[in-house]
Chain A
Amino acid sequence: MEAAEKYQDRVESIIDSYNRSPDSLISILQDVQSECNYLPEDAIRHVAKSLGLPLIQVYGVATFFKAFSLTPRGKHTISVCLGTACHVRGAPMVLDELERRLGVKSGETTQDLQFTLESVNCLGACALGPVVVVDDKYYGQMNAGKVKKVLAKYKKSPGQKKHGKIKVTG
């Protein structure tokens, strides 16, 4: 059970960094997800136990907020902006094409765990709309025809997924 223990240590240190405060549940879960790529069942159980919260409350929070995933996420995250500006410029067509080519719906991860497809509400790059972000790279003025090329870039070379941890004070 070595793996589970290593994992517990990481979760414990995250909880400590928030002074073990149950108020910080959402931030704690976000950091745990950053560490583990998603929220494994054991991690959720551990967080509930350590914070002295009913498991169902933590589970309720983990299933309420879109930021959390209870299933492993893909190597690459594809975010399609569905903000109003991108919508009127044709973003739904781009999403449709991505769903078709990847064989998953928005919010899901491909079977081979290569891609997680999701939609975002506004990336603030409306001048470039419709916008698609893959990991940290922006692809602007997208249309259904450009999807194939963009996907091809990631399908051939397995890119490096950065575990982006942002230091937050307080």
Chain B
Amino acid sequence: MEKLRSPAELKSLQEKFAKKRKSRKRSIAICGGTGCRAFGSEELFNAFKKEITLQGLDDKVDLKFTGCHGFCECGTLVIIRPEEIIYTRVALQDVPEIIAESVVKKNVIERLLYTDPVSGEKVKYEHEIPFYKRQQRLVFGSNGLIDPTSIEDYLAIDGYSALAKVLSGMKPEEVIEEIKKSGLRGRGGGGFSTGRKWESCRNAPSKNGTRYIICNADEGDPGAYMDRSLLEGNPHSVLEGMIIGAYAIGSNEGYVYVRHEYPLTVKNLGIALDKAKGYGLLGEDILGSGFNFDVKISRGGGAFVCGESTALMASLEGKIGEPRPKHIHTVVSGLHGKPTNLNNVETWANVPLIINKGADWYSNIGTEGSKGTKIFSLVGKINNTGLVEVPMGITLREIVYDIGGGIPGGKKFKAVQTGGPSGGCIPESLIDLTVDFDKLAEVGSMMGSGGMIVMDESTCMVDVAKYFVKFLTGESCGKCVPCREGLDRMLDILTDITEGAGKEGDIELLEELGGVIKDTSLCALGGTAPNPVLSTIRYFRDEYEAHIKEQRCPAGVCKALITFTIDEDKCNGCGRCLKNCPQEAISGEKKEPHKIDQDKCIKCGLCRDNCKYDAVIVT
């Protein structure tokens, strides 16, 4: 690996790798995203590798273990190129057949194709699958084309062109103008204008000229894994954005703060940094421009609060993650008291795109106030679980039904939770809401980092509120009274309500306490913590009232308020419930109606899940 001394040298290297890529006639891309790995895609990749070598096809077939493709529901995903045939739910035993049929020959294996649930037809190509059709995968799309541990792959698809463009004569102020013009807003949840943030940081005085760049990869929202998949699957795209940002702001030192629970991300990022340095794309005299910039990786210690910028910076200084009030912004005084620009992973990844295609092009996507696309993790009670990238302004209905494929089991849609523990739920009545920063905030939620949890009729909204508050009480740093004590008392009240001990006036007390916590907390953790409670009260007050006034959980979730019994008329004594009960609480003779011992019953619901005759009743 030789250091590239100019943008021209970069271009010829890109062309070299692109040519090499095209020279391999066939290519197999296996998804290495977390969802597919959980399905065993690493073993699958190894099996393919072994078989390809055995058959002497190494120089004819380009086998790649790529970043996340997004369609986690149908993992493990395999894509055959150049045809772009996509195989879903691939298993180890399919390997020989795939190689024989689709790689050596160019046949399609019907049974491995995706089946459209509505038409029943088989779909060959990725872009024809309903899940992908409505998406606009500008940032995330490259994941499927590259092996994240290979810089050659990134270069082959014109990676680092944006950096070359910037270093070929754009002034830092021009770069900032371009980002401002594009309308890019922070993708981590704050939604602040990225261009303006960069500008403030550049203009903030610094005695010895030190400024820092940070990439916040502390993705803490439970249910969100977009940043991980982006950073793990295409680390160079984020890195390129950071280098461009560093140049624009005037920084020579950057950090990527990765949460402790993502060891593979740390690994892939480390490899990317090494390789970028090797080619002189990072470090001293980048592309011969005289600009120096280096990046260090720092791991989190397992604290959601460290996703907050001041707490993150405290932990980068070896201290506990205690936030400080932001009267003096971090762009003026941040890490070690120096001007610091912190942006989210996805925000950084949007930068090369904007530089390459131009701010005008970018600002044509999205809405008036929210430009570009957003990656969401669409999970929960949804058929097509996965990571989706959509243009701002798309409606929730399109996301849930057209892309998400609707609710499994034919159940009724109830609400979507966006913004994680800082956000709120959006009910069925607002399903035609257009997704953008301002609209989501108007209805009492927020964009957040991109978690989108779908809930159905069997989800108890009081339980959901309790879940989020419980999560936050465990993550509060404990410094200020309203967050530390207030959230704890909110949890007390919510627990009482879910256990049938709710009192008249509890809802009003939650509203009052929530309002004070929002108003007086020191940082945004406490400041947004009451949102899930307040938004569920706003849209599902009747559920709260049922719990309090009638000691009833309409969704059948709150254990203390439900009883499992067997309908003797429907039960035919097949014994499936008995066999599957973990507490051995069910008794009955074969072909005789069975009975549940209420003292032993732990309300796990397995009997209901296993019963084929709908004989288990929950009241």
Binding site for B on A (CB under 8 A): 22-27, 29-30, 53, 57, 60-61, 64-68, 82-90, 93, 96-97, 120-129, 131, 138, 140, 143-145, 147-148, 164, 166-170
A residues in contact with B352, CB < 8 Å: none
User: Which positions 296-344 of chain B face chain A at CB distance < 8 Å?
Assistant: 296-304, 315-321
Chain B residue numbers with a CB within 8 Å of A65 are 260, 300-303, 320-321
A62's closest neighbor in chain B, by CB?
Answer: B301
B295 touching A170, Cβ below 8 Å: yes
Q: A122-B224, A127-B75 are in contact. Are A23 and B318 (CB under 8 A)?
A: yes
A120 in contact with B261 (CB, 8 Å): yes
Give the 4 A-B CB pairs with smallest separation, nearest first.
A65-B301, A124-B34, A124-B225, A66-B302
Closest A residue, CB atoms, query B321: A64
CB distance from A146 to the nearest CB of B (A): 9
Flag if A122 contacts B297 (CB, 8 Å): no
Provide the residues of chain A in CB contact with B385, threshold 8 Å. Answer: 85, 126-127
**Interface-lining segment among B190-198, B451-459, B516-524:** B451-459
With a 10 A CB-CB cut-off, give which of A57, A67, A88, A90 has the most chain B CB atoms: A88
CA distance A127 to B319 in the complex (A): 36
Of the A-B pairs whose beta carbons lie under 8 Å apart in the complex, a sample of 23, sorted by A's number, is A23-B316, A26-B315, A27-B298, A27-B299, A29-B301, A65-B320, A66-B302, A66-B303, A84-B223, A84-B380, A84-B451, A84-B464, A84-B468, A85-B380, A87-B222, A88-B459, A93-B604, A121-B471, A123-B225, A123-B261, A125-B37, A126-B385, A169-B296
CB distance from A94 to the nearest CB of B (A): 9
Q: Check B582 against A147 for contact (C-beta < 8 Å).
A: yes
Contact with A along B444-482 (1 / 0, CB 8 A): 000000010101000100001001100100000100000
Taking CB as reference atom, which chain A residue is nearest B39?
A128
Which of chain A's residues have a CB closer than 8 A to the CB of B37?
125, 138
Are B260 and A88 neighbours in the complex by a CB distance under 8 Å? Answer: no
The answer for the CA separation of A121 and B260 in the assembled complex, in Å, is 11
Q: Which A residues are in CB contact (< 8 Å) with B302?
A: 65-68
| B377-396 interface bits toward A, Cβ cutoff 8 Å, 1 = contact, 0 = none | 10111000110000000000
Tier of interface size on chain B: 35 or more
Q: Which residues of B contact A29 (CB under 8 A)?
A: 301
Q: Please tell me if B69 contacts chain A, counting CB pairs below 8 Å.
A: no
- B interface majority secondary structure: mixed
| Distance between Cα atoms of A144 and B319 in the complex (Å) | 40
A67: B residues at CB distance < 8 A:
260, 300-302
- Which one of B75, B224, B467, B581 contacts A87 once the chains associate, using CB atoms below 8 Å? B467
Q: Could you say which of B5-13, B243-251, B267-275, B434-442 contacts chain A? A: B267-275
How distant is the Cα of A84 from the Cα of B295 in the complex, in angstroms? 33
Do A166 and B35 form a contact, CB below 8 Å, given A64-B301, A88-B459? no
Q: How far is the CB of A31 from chain B (nearest CB, A)?
A: 10
Give the Cβ gap from A39 to chain B, nearest Cβ, in Å.
11
Contacts of B386 in A (CB 8 A): 127
CB A14 to nearest CB in B, in angstroms, measures 14
- Is B263 part of the binding interface, using a Cβ–Cβ cutoff of 8 Å? yes
Q: Contact between A144 and B223 (Cβ–Cβ < 8 Å)? A: no
| Residue from A66, A85, A145, A167 having most chain B Cβ neighbours under 10 A | A85
Given A126-B72, A168-B270, residue A97 in contact with residue B582 (CB < 8 A): yes
With contact pairs A122-B224, A168-B266 given, residues A30 and B301 touching in the complex (Cβ less than 8 Å): yes
- Structural contact, B301 and A60, CB atoms closer than 8 A: no
Question: For residue A122, which residues in chain B have a CB less than 8 angstroms away from its CB?
Answer: 219, 221-225
Instruction: Report whether A148 and B582 are in contact in the complex, using a CB–CB cutoff of 8 Å.
Output: yes
CA distance A79 to B459 in the complex (A): 24
Contact A60 B320, beta carbon cutoff 8 Å: yes
Q: Which residue among A29, A89, A125 has the maximum number of chain B CB atoms within 10 Å of its CB?
A: A125
Chain B residues within an 8 Å CB radius of A93:
602, 604-605
B residues near A (Cβ < 8 Å) are 33-35, 37-39, 72-73, 75, 219-225, 228-229, 260-261, 263, 266-267, 270, 273-274, 294-304, 315-321, 377, 379-381, 385-386, 417, 420, 451, 453, 455, 459, 464, 467-468, 471, 477, 580-582, 602, 604-606, 609
Select B220's contact among A121, A144, A169, beta carbons within 8 Å: A121
Contact among A89, A126, A164 for B35, CB-based, below 8 A: A126
Whole-angstrom distance from the CB of B228 to the nearest CB of chain A?
A: 6
Could you tell me the distance in whole angstroms from the C-beta of B17 to the nearest C-beta in chain A? Answer: 23
The answer to whether A125 and B34 touch across the interface, beta carbons within 8 angstroms, is: yes
Check if B39 sits within 8 Å of A84, measured CB to CB: no
How near does chain A come to B417, taking the closest CB pair, in angstroms?
7
Residues on B with C-beta less than 8 A from A144 are 582, 602, 604, 606
Smallest CB-CB separation from A25: which chain B residue? Answer: B318
* Across-interface contacts of B35 in A (CB, < 8 A): 124-128
Write the nearest CB–CB distance from B593 to chain A, whole angstroms. 22
Q: Are A96 and B34 in contact (CB under 8 A)?
A: no
In the assembled complex, how far is the CB of residue B325 from the closest CB belonging to chain A, in whole angstroms? Answer: 20
Residues of B with C-beta under 8 A to A88: 380-381, 453, 455, 459, 464
Given contacts A30-B301, A84-B380, A88-B464, contact A145 B582 (CB under 8 A): yes
Pick from B73, B270, B303: contact of A64, CB below 8 A.
B303
On chain A, the residues within 8 Å of B274 by CB distance are 169
A62–B188 CA distance with the chains assembled, in angstroms = 27
Is the pair B72, A84 in contact by a Cβ cutoff of 8 Å? no
Q: Residue B263 contacts which of A85, A143, A166 (CB distance < 8 angstroms)? A: A166
Judge whether A121 and B304 touch: CB under 8 Å.
yes
Bound-state CA distance A68–B228 (Å) is 22
Do A85 and B379 form a contact, CB below 8 Å, given A145-B580, A169-B274? yes
Contact check, A23 vs B602: say whether CB atoms are below 8 A apart: no
A169, B459: Cβ atoms closer than 8 Å = no
Given contacts A26-B299, A121-B220, 9 further A-B contacts (CB under 8 A): A61-B319, A65-B321, A87-B467, A88-B380, A88-B381, A121-B221, A127-B72, A144-B604, A169-B297
B602 contact set on A, CB distance < 8 A: 93, 96-97, 144
Chain A residues contacting B582 (CB-CB under 8 Å) are: 97, 144-145, 147-148
Among residues of A, the one whose C-beta sits closest to the C-beta of B322 is: A64
Bound-state CA distance A124–B300 (Å) is 17
Is B380 a contact of A166 with CB atoms below 8 Å?
no
Q: Which residue of B lies closest to A93 (CB)?
A: B604
How near does chain A come to B270, taking the closest CB pair, in angstroms? 5
Docked complex Cα distance between A5 and B304 (Å): 36
A56 to B494, CA, bound (A): 36
